[in-house]
Structure 1
Amino acid sequence: MSNRTSLQKRLGIALTFGVTLLWLLGVTASGLVAQHEMNEVFDSALQETAQRVLPLAVTGILNREIGARNETAPALEEHDEHLTYVVRDRQGKILLQSHDADPDVFATLPRKGFSNTSTHRIYGASAVSDTIYIEVAEPLAHRREAALEAGLALLMPLLFLIPVSLLGVWWVVRLSLRRVVEFQQSIESRGAGDLSPVEGGRLPAEFEPVAVAVNRLLERLLRALETERSFTANSAHELRTPLATALAKVQRLKTEVHSDPLRTRVGEIEEALRSLAGLSGKLLELAKAEGGGAISQDQHNLVPILTMVVGDFEGEAPGRINLTLPGREANSFLDPDAFAILARNLIENAVKYGSPDQPVEVSLTADGALRVRNGGNLIPPDQLALLRNRFVRATTHGPGSGLGLAIADAIAEGAGMTLVLRSPATGCGDGFEAEIYLV
């Protein structure tokens, strides 16, 4: 199985990751801006509190009796005081403080302006010629809590927006690449023998040149196959006719010759012409097998074709071939002519090289398994591995060109099938068996 990722999946993941990252970056930036603005508001509140409280505190302190002790501003009701203040003199003596103020938060001597401690943000101001100071403190934890709540308020909508945006991204990518996926599926689903043009008119502009290039390639391939088939057919006619004519003339000459030595030589010429005619036929079958076209666009029932092929051998080997056929049709996309050539070569190989006193078993199952079995001597593994090659024969004295199994293997390979050769045959101690699944 291929480990390559589809374009649709790559775009979906990349856009999803990008949108999510942009959302998060936007929320982070918004949170930082909100925090900065809130700090400005909080600082302004510190200043405003100091400027409002200081005049009142000064008035109260100046009207106080001399020697009076520090006063704490009363609270009208219980509440959390985020802003606390102390009013001190120049030496740091506390003159007035809010009800919840902690003197340890402030420095020993008062200061004007903004300052920070580890826990508080402090603003100081002075009055009466810098003799009375007020310092207002706010806990930094309060600011962090406010910033966190603002960030969560910005982040909460993303719990809804991010899934919606992800679904939107996947839907847009799927919709945009729908034509491309259909184009891919149309090419993937067509059979090896389907050379018709692919439909690319509705593809995106970026993929349209691919469809044009594929159609041009299919057109060139179709022309090449048609040229090869035409050449094969013409060659068969042009070669067989002269050879048949020459063979007929030699046979006629043989009947007119009365000298035994000359008759023997004419017989040798006749046998050579027969061998040449057989070899030319095998070479034409090999050219057809290697030229493509082993797969057709429609399925065909192989049972009547195999029956006809076996019937052709009745005159050569009467009663020797045992044919077993399924009780129903055995359909395959294998081209009928290619199947006939394949079956004929396998059966011819079994008849020629099998033991003449043992039958040739030919069987075709409903699931498309063709098996041809014959008796005879064992073939060594090293020779068995070479029988698919051209002009290679096992150790035998029988006639033949060594092309039968090469033709059968070429057809099987062109159809995407596998021809299995065994010796000994399945369930036997000797013999030879050829098996191929045609579906």
Structure 2
Amino acid sequence: MKSSSSLQRRLGLGLTLGVTLLWLVATLASGLVVRNELDEAFDSALEETAQRILPLAVTEIVNREEPLLPQQIAMLRPHTELLSYLVRDADGNVLLQSHDVDPALFDARPRTGFRTLDHHRLYGESAVSDTIFIEVAEPLAHRRNATWDAVMALLLPLLLLIPVSLLGIWLLVRFSLQSVLAYKGAIEARGAGDLSPVTAARLPAEIEPVAQAVNQLMERLRRALESERSFTANSAHELRTPLAAALAQVQRLRRETPGGPLQQRADQIESALRRLVRLSEKLMQLAKAEGGALVSAEPHDVVPVLRHVVEECRRAFDGRTPELSVPGQTPVFTTLDVDAFAILVRNLLENALKYGDEQQPVRVCLSQTGVLRVSNGGPVVPEAVLAGLTARFSRAPGTHSATHSGIKAGSGLGLAIVEAIARGAGTSLTLHSPASNRQDGFEAMVQLPQQG
């Protein structure tokens, strides 16, 4: 089964990722805008530079003795030249040039206006009736560096924004989901048998209908279970008195009846009434097992209770004494209710004594860690049958009319009662066939609940 993911984690990571992606998209859009604005600014600078230098160049050329003699402007001090220019006549003869210009960048004849080469952006302007031209060149790398610097100025805050956003969103989501987390904790803290309404304050509007529906469902389930348990317990209780009276009358009638068919019929009626008495007792036990309050607040030693129940079963089953194994004089503590523990052990022992092989002993073992094992001899129970033995009124094949391993069949409620007690106490009943360390037999194991 795939584990569910945390809503808080999904919202925190999702919102942080969303903010990051939006920031990146905004940075990309801003970079494109910045690039266009920088291109306009640099083109304007090229145009302004050409228009400022050209009149000075024309004056210089016209006033010198040999106007057609090329002249290079001397460098005042070492520096990085981002703009270089070339002044020529209409035939392409160089009249004036900056100190670091590369003539190979320019065409053979001068041109006016803007144009873009592989590595430079050029602008040309003319004067004196298109006889003197100036062309200014700017490296495109300069523009790219300026654009990259602007984009990085937007991206660098993202390195700080991501952890800050994650922390801020995480705290905001946790604060917003505080009531939901409290509701979750309240549900997790209650036991399986607690069907009381779950109270949680200030739930979000989206969750509150779910909480109300859960409480309504739990209330309906509680009423249904209480009605079922009440009917079972009341029916079993009300049957005890008339069954006891009928059994007494049949026993008296049997003693007063001479031998023969009538005596045999009275014996059959007495056996049927005894089975009804046992069934009513099992129904009472089942009602208690499903009624909750199976775990006590303080742990207690169950070894004396176990010895007492084993002794009761010895008297009830004509002296068949189960083999009892407990950890010496060391007490074994559990939080399982004493009455529920006695019912659990009694049903496991009755199941083993009824359905186990009479020639092999029934073994009861309680470990120091609270593991209770009850095993008996007999044929191996098929796995398909084993899985359904904890259902109500379920018996192993061959037990409905006569015997199972030579023993009379019971009510089919013993293991169902044990299963209900184990489930209500927060533990489980485990069935094995063959039994542990054996080739045959049957074993029931329950881990008694411990404190903490």
Q: Is 1:4 equivalent to 2:4 in the alignment?
A: yes
Pick from 333, 345, 365 the counterpart of residue 330 of structure 1. 333
Per-residue CA deviation, residues 305-340 of structure 1 (Å, 9 max, x unaligned), is 4344334324324471343445234314x5655443
TM-aligned CA distance change 1:347 to 1:115, over 3 Å:
same
Q: Which residue of 2 aligns with 1:422?
A: 433
* SS of residue paired to 1:45: helix
* SS of residue paired to 1:200: coil
The letter for the 2-side match of 1:385 is: L
TM-aligned CA distance change 1:54 to 1:274, over 3 Å:
same
CA distance in 2, matches of 1:102, 1:427: 98
CA distance in 2, matches of 1:257, 1:9: 81
Q: Which residue of 1 aligns with 2:22?
A: 22
- The runs of 5 or more residues in structure 2 that have no matched partner are none
* Shift of residue 431, structure 1, vs aligned partner: 4.7
RMSD: 2.9
The letter for the 2-side match of 1:321 is: P
* Shift of residue 432, structure 1, vs aligned partner: 3.9
CA distance in 2, matches of 1:100, 1:382: 96
Per-residue CA deviation, residues 360-414 of structure 1 (Å, 9 max, x unaligned), is 332322322111233x444354696377161333643322225155425642674
Pick from 373, 376, 386 the counterpart of residue 375 of structure 2. 373
8 Å contact from structure 2 (residues 294, 337) kept in 1:
yes
* SS of residue paired to 1:270: helix
* SS of residue paired to 2:31: helix
CA distance in 2, matches of 1:166, 1:269: 79
TM-aligned CA distance change 1:366 to 1:438, over 3 Å:
same
8 Å contact from structure 2 (residues 34, 150) kept in 1:
yes
TM-aligned CA distance change 1:238 to 1:62, over 3 Å:
same
* Shift of residue 428, structure 1, vs aligned partner: 4.8
Shifted more, 236-245 versus 52-61: the winner is 236-245
CA distance in 1, matches of 2:368, 2:111: 102
Per-residue CA deviation, residues 106-139 of structure 1 (Å, 9 max, x unaligned), is 1111111111111111111111111111111111
8 Å contact from structure 2 (residues 301, 331) kept in 1:
no
TM-aligned CA distance change 1:241 to 1:138, over 3 Å:
same
- The runs of 5 or more residues in structure 1 that have no matched partner are none
Q: TM-score under structure 2 normalisation?
A: 0.86
The letter for the 2-side match of 1:348 is: E
* SS of residue paired to 2:374: strand
8 Å contact from structure 2 (residues 68, 95) kept in 1:
no
Q: Which residue of 2 aligns with 1:221?
A: 221
CA distance in 1, matches of 2:102, 2:225: 98
Q: Which residue of 1 aligns with 2:80?
A: 80
Q: Is 1:234 equivalent to 2:238 in the alignment?
A: no
Shifted more, 248-257 versus 103-112: the winner is 248-257
The letter for the 2-side match of 1:363 is: C
Query: Identity of aligned pairs, percent?
Result: 52
* SS of residue paired to 1:315: helix
8 Å contact from structure 1 (residues 294, 411) kept in 2:
no
The letter for the 1-side match of 2:366 is: L
Q: Which residue of 1 aligns with 2:162?
A: 162
Q: TM-score under structure 1 normalisation?
A: 0.88
CA distance in 1, matches of 2:412, 2:286: 8
Shifted more, 28-37 versus 38-47: the winner is 28-37
8 Å contact from structure 1 (residues 282, 403) kept in 2:
no
CA distance in 1, matches of 2:321, 2:296: 35
TM-aligned CA distance change 1:71 to 1:259, over 3 Å:
closer
CA distance in 2, matches of 1:297, 1:109: 105
Q: Which residue of 2 aligns with 1:102?
A: 102
8 Å contact from structure 1 (residues 342, 411) kept in 2:
no
CA distance in 2, matches of 1:294, 1:363: 26
8 Å contact from structure 2 (residues 86, 136) kept in 1:
yes
CA distance in 2, matches of 1:298, 1:211: 29
Shifted more, 96-105 versus 173-182: the winner is 173-182
TM-aligned CA distance change 1:195 to 1:283, over 3 Å:
closer
* SS of residue paired to 1:363: strand
Q: Which residue of 2 aligns with 1:274?
A: 274
Q: Is 1:403 equivalent to 2:412 in the alignment?
A: yes
Shifted more, 124-133 versus 246-255: the winner is 246-255
Shifted more, 101-110 versus 293-302: the winner is 293-302
CA distance in 2, matches of 1:337, 1:144: 86
* SS of residue paired to 1:111: coil
Per-residue CA deviation, residues 36-82 of structure 1 (Å, 9 max, x unaligned), is 22222211111111111111111111112246521111221121111
Number of residue equivalences: 435
CA distance in 2, matches of 1:21, 1:402: 68
